Structure 1
Amino acid sequence: MTTIFPTSDEFLAHLGTSSRLTPEALQRLSSAWRATGQPIDVVMRELGLMPEAELAQAIADFCMIGCAQSVFEADSEMLERMGTDFAARNALLPITGEKGALSLIVADPFSRPAIEAIEFLIGGRLPLIVAPRSTIEEFFRVRKAVRDDGDFSGSHDVAGEEDVDRLLDIAKEAPVIRFVSRIIQRAVDGKATDIHIEPFEDIVRIRLRTDGILQTLETVPRSMAAGITSRIKILSRLNIAERRLPQDGRLRASVRGQEIDFRVSVTPSVHGETVVMRILDRSNVRLELGALGFDEQATAAIAAITRKPNGIFLVTGPTGSGKTTTLYSILNDINDPRWKFFTVEDPVEYRMKGITQLQVDPGIGLTFASALRSVLRQDPDGILIGEIRDEETARIAVQAALTGHLVLSTLHTNSAAGAISRLRNMGIESYLLAATLRGIIGQRLVRRVCEECRHHDSETMCAVCGGSGLAGRQAVYEIMEITDALRDSISRKDDENALEMAAQQVGMRSMREHAHGLVAAGVTTSGEVSRVIDLQGA
C-alpha cells in the first residue's frame, strides 16, 4: 500500500493556520520558496524566520516523526552504499539504533525523490528522523576535514621516537583542534559520562558512555591517533613525550558557554595510547536523593543516620554506580551554617557553597592521608572523603569518627555488607568497625524505561532513547543501618552472608528486592536488572 506523505505546500499551509508565522512572514516565505525552488527549511533559515532547532521540531511534529537535535555515529556501510556526496548534497544520514534498526536522518522529509531513491536502494521504507540541516552539514564537514585534509594525513602516523616539537605541531593544527572540540561538544550534548578514544591497528574508535552503556560515536583513520592524544595531553597539562607510562590529568573546557571539568586518563596499549575522559558536568546533576531515585522512606532513613553527630557513613558500589553523586546529595541535605564541613577528593567533582574542599595531589605529597590529618586540625564537624583506598586513610577515618566527627565516604564493593569485609581486609579491627559505622548504602544505577516511547508503538525511532526503549538512570539500592544487633554481628566477625541476614532481620530491603520492585512498577526492565545486578554481582 502506498503511503501519502505530507508535502511542502501542506506544511506551508500548516504554518499559516498554526500561527507560528505572521501573515507577512508567511507571504515572504511563500514567495521566496516558490521563486528559488530551494527546500523550505533552507529558505526559512536564510530569511531568519525561525530558529533551526524549533523549525526541525515543527517539521517533525507536522509529519509525526522523530526529531534529533544532535547526530551521532552514521551507519558507515549504508553511507557508502548511498554515496557520501549524494547524502551530503541532500542532507541525508543513515543511522543504526541500539537494536540494529536502520533509520534515515533528514533535514527535508518533503524531498521525496532523494528519500525514495534510498528506499529503492535498500528495497524498503525507512523510518525518518528530522534534524537541523546545519547539524547534518556539520557532520559531513568535519568528516571531510578529518579524513581528507591534506595537512592531517598519514604523514602524522608517527610511531616510536616522535620528536616532541613535531607532536606539538600536530596537536596545534586546526583539524585536530576542531576534531577534539567536536568530540567533547557531542559528548556533553549527548549527556555522556565518559569519552573513550581507542587506537587499533587501522583505526581509532571513539565511544561515549551514556546511561552506563558504551556506544560508538565514530571511527577515524589510525593516522589521527598521535594528533588527538597529543591535543588532549596538552589541554590536560600532561607530558606528551611520555608514551610508556600511564598518566592522569584534568582539563576544563567551555561547551556552549558552560565551564565543564574532565578527568583524563591516558594508558599505553599495543596500538598506542588509549584515552578515557570522565565528564564532570555539574549542570546536569540535581544533588537530591529523590532525583536519584531514593523514595521517601529511604530518604528519611538516610537522614536519620547522617544527622548523628559522629560515626562513619559509607556509599558502596562498582565504578560508575553513582556513589559520589549520592554522597554529595547527602552532604547537600545535611549542610548547615552551624556546622563546619570539609571534603578531601581526587578530584573535586562538585563545588558546593559553604563547604571547604581540598583536592589531593600525590605529586606534591598531598595524599588523602596527609590532607585528612591537616583537616582534622581545622576543627571540622564533618568530613567527606572521596574514597577510602588504603589502610592509612581508613584508620584516619575511624579515628576521626571516634573523636566526634561525622565521616562520609565511598568504597568499591558489591554490597553494603561487603564494605565491612573490605575494611577488615584493609586491617581495621572488627571492634573499631562496630564502634564507628553508622550506616552503609550499596547501590547500582539501572536505565529507566523511556517515558517518551513507552506508551505508543511506532515505526519511527524515538529521538530520546535512540530506539533502545531505555533513557535516563536511577539508583537501585540497599540501606544497612548499623543497629545493636548488627554491631554484635560485626564484633563476632560474622561473614557477609551472616551480616546480610542480620540486616534483613531488622528490616533491610536487599538491592535485588528493590530492583524487582522497580521492574514490577514498570520503571525498568528485568533485562536491565540482570545486566546491572546479576552480571556485576550483588
Structure 2
Amino acid sequence: MLACAAIVLGAIASQAGAAASAPAGAAPAAAPSAAAEDAPGFEKPALAAPRLYALSIVKVVLVLVFSAIVFYVCHWTFLDTRFVNTNQAAWDGVVLAGAGAGLAAAVLVPVLYVGLPLGAVLFIGASVAYAMHRNGLVTAPLRVLTGAHWTRIGRRLSGRKAVEAEAGAVSAAGRRIVFMGVDDLQVRLEFESEAERRAFREVERVLAAAIGRRASTVGYLARGGKGEVKLRISGQTYGGGDVERPAADHFPALLKRLAGLDPGETRKPQEGRVRAIVGSGQYELRVRTAGTVKGEQVAVRVIDLVASQMRLDQLGLTDLESAAMKEALAARPGLVLLSGPQDSGLTTTLHACLRHFDRYINNVICFEPQTDIEVENIQHILVNQEDGPVAAAEVRSRIRMEPDVVGFDSVYQPEIAGLLAEAAKEHTVIVGIRASDATQALTRLAGLLGSAAPLAERLQAVVNQRLVRLLCPDCK
C-alpha cells in the first residue's frame, strides 16, 4: 500500500511541479546585466507571457476515489488472508501488484479516461482472483461477491441497518445475537402476546450464553412446570439455568419457528436449522425436537462456521506430531487410523486431514452418518451402518469409482471395515473409530477385520485424541 500511495503522491507532485514551472526546453533567459543594457547594439529582451495550467477537479476526484477503493480492498485482503488462513505472502503480493499496476495506469497514462478503466481492470482482476480463491476455503455464509453477498450490500445501501446492528435483546454477557435463515435473510418473528416476546428474549439469552461458553449442544427439557437447560461443553455436561413459566411454555415453539419447523407438531421428531450471528462470529444451529411424556424435548447443535474450518496446523499438535501426521498422509497408498471417545473432536480431525489434500487435483470422498460440516470440493456421502448390506454396497460402489482419498467417520460394521482395508492397498484411507486409547483402537479394528494382517500391511499411523480445556490467554 505504501508503494501505491507513493505512485499517487508522485503523480500529484509531478502535476504540481509542471504547473509551477515552465515547459521543458523553455528555461527563462538570464536577465542581462546593467552594463550590457547600456552597451550599443544591445536591446532589452521582451519577457515571455506566462503559461497557465488548468487542473480538472473531476479527474482529481476520480483518481482519489479509485485510490481510496484500492487502499480499502488492500487493507481488507491483508486482514482476510489471516482470517481464512491462506498463503498470506503470495495473495497479499498478488493484490498489491494489481493495485500498483492499476494506480500506475490511472495516473501515468496521458488520457485519464483510458488509463482509469485500464487500471480498474487490472486491479479488479487481481481482487477477483483472490476472492475466488478464498471462497473455496470458507462456507457459503462467509463468501463474498455472491448473490447473497450483493443482497446484503443492497439492503445496506437502501438505508437499512447492517444485520449485526439489528440484533434483538442482549445476553447477560452483553452479546447481541441475530438469526438468519437459509436464504441469508434475517428471521423476524411476529409475537401474539407479550409473553411470547419475553419468551423470545429467553431464547436469545440461552443461545447467546451457550455460544459465549462455546457449547457444542444445547438441550432443553420441560420438567416440573419449568424448562431445564443443559449445555455440552468440551464433552462435559453443565447446567445452563432454568426457564421459568410462562416463558417455558413458549420456548420450544419459538425455537421451532426460528428453524422453520411446524410449532404445532409436538409428537413427531422434526429437524431444521438457522444461522446465528454473534459479534463477528457466525454459527449454524441444528434444531432437533422429540416428544416425551413430560413435554417436548429440544436439542440444538451449535456449529462454529469459522472454527469448523480448522486445518492440521490448527489442531494444537506439536511440531513433531504435525510432521508425523503429514508424513503419514503423504504415504500413498496407506491407512491412517483416528480414534477417540465420544465428543473428542474426531470428526474435526478427520476433516482437517481431508483438507490437507489438494481437492482440485485429488478426488476426495468422505462417508459419514450425518453431515454437520461440509468441506469444500469433497463428496460427503451419508451412510447408515445399521443398514448392513445396503451400506456396504454403497461403500463398495463408491470405492470402485477410483477416489484418491477416502475418509470414513466412526466405522463399526465388519463388512465395511473389510472394504476400507482392501481400499487401503490402492488409495489413501483415513478411518475414525471410537476408542479410549490407541491400543484399544487397533484391537477394535483388528476385531472388525478378523485379523491384524491387513493392518500390518498398510497402517501408517494411529492417533488417539482428547479435548483439553485451556485458559484464555487474554483472561488468565
Give TM-score scaled by structure 2 length.
0.52
C-alpha spacing 1:336/1:281, structure 2 compared with 1 (3 Å): same
Question: Does 2:376 correspond to 1:314?
Answer: no
C-alpha spacing 1:391/1:179, structure 2 compared with 1 (3 Å): farther
Q: Following the alignment from structure 1 to structure 2, what is the Cα–Cα distance between the partners of residues 151 and 204?
A: 20
Letter in 2 for 1:337: Y
1:190-214 CA deviation, whole Å, 9 max, x = no partner? 4322212133223212233334444
- 1:405 counterpart (427, 447, 453): 427
Q: Following the alignment from structure 2 to structure 1, what is the Cα–Cα distance between the partners of residues 402 and 357?
A: 18
- 2:443 counterpart (421, 428, 436): 421
Question: Does 2:215 correspond to 1:192?
Answer: yes
**Shift of residue 379, structure 1, vs aligned partner:** 2.3
**Shift of residue 331, structure 1, vs aligned partner:** 1.7
Query: Counterpart of 1:439 in 2: which secondary structure?
Result: strand
1:203-231 CA deviation, whole Å, 9 max, x = no partner? 21223333444443331136655643344
Match of 2:271 in 1: 249
Query: Counterpart of 2:468 in 1: which secondary structure?
Result: strand
How many corresponding residue pairs? 291
Q: Following the alignment from structure 1 to structure 2, what is the Cα–Cα distance between the partners of residues 288 and 188?
A: 22
Match of 1:22 in 2: none
Question: Does 2:464 correspond to 1:442?
Answer: yes
C-alpha spacing 1:381/1:238, structure 2 compared with 1 (3 Å): farther
C-alpha spacing 1:305/1:236, structure 2 compared with 1 (3 Å): farther
Letter in 1 for 2:461: G
1:241-283 CA deviation, whole Å, 9 max, x = no partner? 464x8x4735232425866333445456563343332212121
Q: How does 1:136-175 map to 2 (within 5 A)?
A: 151=193, 174-175=197-198
- 2:375 counterpart (352, 363, 379): 352
Q: Following the alignment from structure 2 to structure 1, what is the Cα–Cα distance between the partners of residues 384 and 247?
A: 32
More displaced, 294-303 or 321-330?
321-330
Match of 2:414 in 1: 391
Query: Counterpart of 2:463 in 1: which secondary structure?
Result: strand
Letter in 2 for 1:393: I
C-alpha spacing 1:152/1:320, structure 2 compared with 1 (3 Å): farther
**Shift of residue 427, structure 1, vs aligned partner:** 5.3
C-alpha spacing 1:449/1:412, structure 2 compared with 1 (3 Å): same
Match of 1:271 in 2: 294
1:301-360 CA deviation, whole Å, 9 max, x = no partner? 111111111232121111121111122222222335332111222332333333222344
Q: Following the alignment from structure 2 to structure 1, what is the Cα–Cα distance between the partners of residues 171 and 285?
A: 25
Q: Following the alignment from structure 1 to structure 2, what is the Cα–Cα distance between the partners of residues 188 and 212?
A: 15
Q: How does 1:506-517 map to 2 (within 5 A)?
A: none
C-alpha spacing 1:442/1:377, structure 2 compared with 1 (3 Å): same
C-alpha spacing 1:385/1:175, structure 2 compared with 1 (3 Å): farther
Indicate conservation of the 8 Å contact 1:251/1:263, yes or no: yes
- 2:283 counterpart (251, 257, 260): 260
Indicate conservation of the 8 Å contact 2:218/2:299, yes or no: yes
Q: Following the alignment from structure 1 to structure 2, what is the Cα–Cα distance between the partners of residues 137 and 398?
A: 50
- 2:323 counterpart (300, 303, 308): 300
C-alpha spacing 1:228/1:363, structure 2 compared with 1 (3 Å): farther
C-alpha spacing 1:453/1:185, structure 2 compared with 1 (3 Å): closer
Match of 1:216 in 2: 239
Q: Following the alignment from structure 2 to structure 1, what is the Cα–Cα distance between the partners of residues 170 and 227?
A: 26
Indicate conservation of the 8 Å contact 1:152/1:224, yes or no: no
Q: Following the alignment from structure 1 to structure 2, what is the Cα–Cα distance between the partners of residues 438 and 325?
A: 20
Indicate conservation of the 8 Å contact 1:394/1:428, yes or no: no
Question: 5+ unaligned residues in a row in structure 2: which ranges?
Answer: 1-168, 176-190
Indicate conservation of the 8 Å contact 1:360/1:366, yes or no: no
Q: Following the alignment from structure 2 to structure 1, what is the Cα–Cα distance between the partners of residues 369 and 193?
A: 38
Q: Following the alignment from structure 2 to structure 1, what is the Cα–Cα distance between the partners of residues 197 and 394?
A: 41
Q: Following the alignment from structure 2 to structure 1, what is the Cα–Cα distance between the partners of residues 357 and 389?
A: 27
C-alpha spacing 1:329/1:268, structure 2 compared with 1 (3 Å): same
Q: Following the alignment from structure 2 to structure 1, what is the Cα–Cα distance between the partners of residues 250 and 433?
A: 37
More displaced, 306-315 or 266-275?
266-275
Q: Please tell me whether Structure 1 or Structure 2 has the larger radius of gyration of its CA atoms.
A: 2
Letter in 2 for 1:399: E
Match of 2:5 in 1: none
Query: Counterpart of 2:356 in 1: which secondary structure?
Result: helix
Q: Following the alignment from structure 2 to structure 1, what is the Cα–Cα distance between the partners of residues 309 and 221?
A: 31
Letter in 2 for 1:249: E
Q: How does 1:321-336 map to 2 (within 5 A)?
A: 321-336=344-359
Indicate conservation of the 8 Å contact 1:260/1:280, yes or no: yes
More displaced, 208-217 or 271-280?
208-217
**Shift of residue 383, structure 1, vs aligned partner:** 1.2
Q: Following the alignment from structure 2 to structure 1, what is the Cα–Cα distance between the partners of residues 411 and 252?
A: 31
Q: Following the alignment from structure 1 to structure 2, what is the Cα–Cα distance between the partners of residues 280 and 182?
A: 18
C-alpha spacing 1:366/1:309, structure 2 compared with 1 (3 Å): same
Letter in 1 for 2:214: K
Indicate conservation of the 8 Å contact 1:341/1:380, yes or no: yes
Indicate conservation of the 8 Å contact 1:192/1:279, yes or no: yes
**Shift of residue 294, structure 1, vs aligned partner:** 0.4
**Shift of residue 237, structure 1, vs aligned partner:** 5.0
Q: Following the alignment from structure 2 to structure 1, what is the Cα–Cα distance between the partners of residues 264 and 246?
A: 17
C-alpha spacing 1:360/1:282, structure 2 compared with 1 (3 Å): farther
C-alpha spacing 1:211/1:359, structure 2 compared with 1 (3 Å): same
**Shift of residue 384, structure 1, vs aligned partner:** 1.3
